[in-house]
Structure 1
Amino acid sequence: MTAFGPDTLAKLQAAATTSSRRRQHLNLHDSYEEPCQRFLNALHADSYIRPHRHTLDPKEELLVAISGALALLTFDEAGMIATIVPFSTEAHWRRGAPFGVRVSPLTWHSVVPLTDQAILLEVKAGPFDPQAAKEPALWAPDEGNAEAAQSYLRDLRRTALRSDAVRDQLARSAIPDMI
Structure 2
Amino acid sequence: MNTLNEKNLTKAEFISRQILDRISSEAKRSPRLRKNYNFHTSDEDICHRLLNAMEPDSYMQPHRHLNINKDETLVVLRGRIGIIMFDDEGTIKENVLLEPTGSIMMANIPHGIFHTCVSLEERTVFFESKAGPFMPLIPEERA
Given the two structures, how large is their TM-score scaled by the length of structure 1? 0.68
Q: Which residue in the other structure is 1:119 paired with?
A: 125
Secondary structure of the 2:133 match is coil
CA shift digits 1:61-115 (9 cap, x unpaired): 0000010111110011221111011111122xxxxx1111000110000011122
Q: Provide the aligned C-alpha RMSD in A.
A: 1.9
Q: Which residue in the other structure is 2:38 paired with?
A: 27
Deviation at 1:32, TM superposition (A): 2.0
The reply to whether residue 72 of structure 1 matches residue 67 of structure 2 is no
Bigger helix fraction: 1
The 1:131–1:113 alpha-carbon spacing in structure 2 relative to 1, beyond 3 Å, is closer
Secondary structure of the 2:101 match is helix
Structure 2 residues not aligned, in runs of 5+: 1-11
Deviation at 1:128, TM superposition (A): 2.1
The reply to whether residue 46 of structure 1 matches residue 57 of structure 2 is yes
The 1:19–1:57 alpha-carbon spacing in structure 2 relative to 1, beyond 3 Å, is farther
Q: Which residue, 85, 88, 97 being the options, matches 1:86? A: 97
Q: Which residue in the other structure is 2:104 paired with?
A: 98
Deviation at 1:135, TM superposition (A): 1.9
Aligned equivalents of 2:17, 2:123: Cα separation in 1: 14
Aligned equivalents of 2:141, 2:122: Cα separation in 1: 27
Deviation at 1:130, TM superposition (A): 3.4
Q: How many residue pairs end up in the alignment? A: 132
Aligned equivalents of 1:122, 1:2: Cα separation in 2: 16
Deviation at 1:42, TM superposition (A): 0.4
Structure 1 residues not aligned, in runs of 5+: 92-96, 138-179
Aligned residues of 2:27 and 2:53 also touching (Cα < 8 A): yes
Secondary structure of the 2:81 match is strand
* Aligned sequence identity (%): 33
Aligned residues of 2:21 and 2:123 also touching (Cα < 8 A): no
Deviation at 1:6, TM superposition (A): 1.2
Q: Which residue in the other structure is 1:13 paired with?
A: 24
Deviation at 1:131, TM superposition (A): 5.9
Q: Which residue, 73, 92, 96 being the options, matches 1:62? A: 73
Matched residue type, 1:111: C
Matched residue type, 2:132: G
